[in-house]
Amino acid sequence: MGKILSVLLILQGLAKADTLPSKEPGGWLWYKDPIIKVKKEKSTPPSKKKKTPVEEVELIKKEFEEATAEALISPTFENVQRAQRIQTQIINRSEEFSKMWQWVVLQDASHWRAEGHGNRVHREIYKEEEQKKLNRNLKCLSKSFGLFLFFKESCPYCHAFAPIVKVFADTHGFVVKAVSADHGKLAEFPSSALDNGTIRKLNPESIFPALFLINPTTQEVIPLSWGMNALSVLEQQASTIFEHRKDLV
C-alpha cells in the first residue's frame, strides 16, 4: 500500500510541474523576432572609364612634357633618363605608324597622287608635263581673248610689271592694249592709248597696275591681276580661268 501511495505522489508532482510557468513566458511582450541571415553582397569597385585614343595621346604628351620639364629644372641622371625613355617610346610608336601608313598607301591606290610623288625624276617630268598643259591652255585662251593693261606713268609698280606682262603676252600669243590713266607711256608698250572712261568702269578702286582678259567679240571682261604679280602667278591664274571656264573658247 505504501508503494502505491508513493507512486501516486510522484505522478501528482509531475502534473503540477506541467502547470508551472516556463522560464520564458509567452505573449507579445516576450515575442522574439526570428533570426534571418542576410547574405552580404560583395561590393564591386566602379569600372574605370576607358580612355579614348585622343586622351591616350594627350596623356603621353603630358607625361613627356612633365618629364622634360623636370629634367630641365633638375637634370639628374634619373630625370634625364626618364625623359629619354618616354621620348624613345614616342619615336618607336611614330615609326610603327609610319610603316603601317606606307603599307596602307601601297595597298590602296586611291591615296596615290602624281603631284606628291617623292621621286625627284618623277617630279621633274610631272612639272614639265604640267607646263606643257598650261602652255596649251593659254595658247587656246589667247585665240579668243586679248589683254588690257591699266597703268599710270607715275606708278613704279606699273613700270616693273610691264616687262612681265610683255613676256607673258609674247609667250602665249596675247595681244596687249595698254591704257594710261595719266596720259603717260610705258617703254614696253609705246603705243598706249588714253583712257576714255574704261578704267573708271572696270577699275573703280583705281588699283594700278591692273590686267584684264578682254573678249572683243562678246565684250566679256575677266580680271587677271590686281596689282603687280610674277609671271608664274599670271600663268597659273590664267590657266585656272581656262579650267573653270572652258566655255570661253
Sorted by where each begins, the domain ranges of the chain are 53-106, 134-248
Predicted pLDDT of residue 100: 93
The answer to whether the CB of 143 falls within 8 A of the CB of 169 is: no
Predicted pLDDT of residue 49: 81
**Per-residue model confidence as pLDDT tens digits over 179-191:** 999 989 999 999 9
| Alpha helices (runs of H) in the chain, residue ranges in sequence order | 2-19, 53-73, 77-107, 120-142, 156-172, 198-202, 231-244
Whether this prediction's pTM lies above 0.75 is answered by no
What parts of the chain have a pLDDT lower than 50? 4-5, 7-11, 14-15, 17, 20, 27-31
* Superfamily of chain region 134-248: Glutaredoxin (3.40.30.10)
Cβ-based neighbour number of residue 83 at 10 Å: 21
Predicted pLDDT of residue 7: 44
Task: Say how far apart CA 107 and CA 140 lie, in whole Å.
Answer: 40
Q: Burial level of 171, CB count in 10 A (0-12/13-18/19+)?
A: middle
Cell 585622343 appears where?
A: 54
Predicted pLDDT of residue 10: 47
Predicted pLDDT of residue 111: 77
**Per-residue model confidence as pLDDT tens digits over 58-102:** 999 999 999 999 999 999 999 999 999 999 999 999 999 999 988
Cell 501528482 appears where?
A: 12
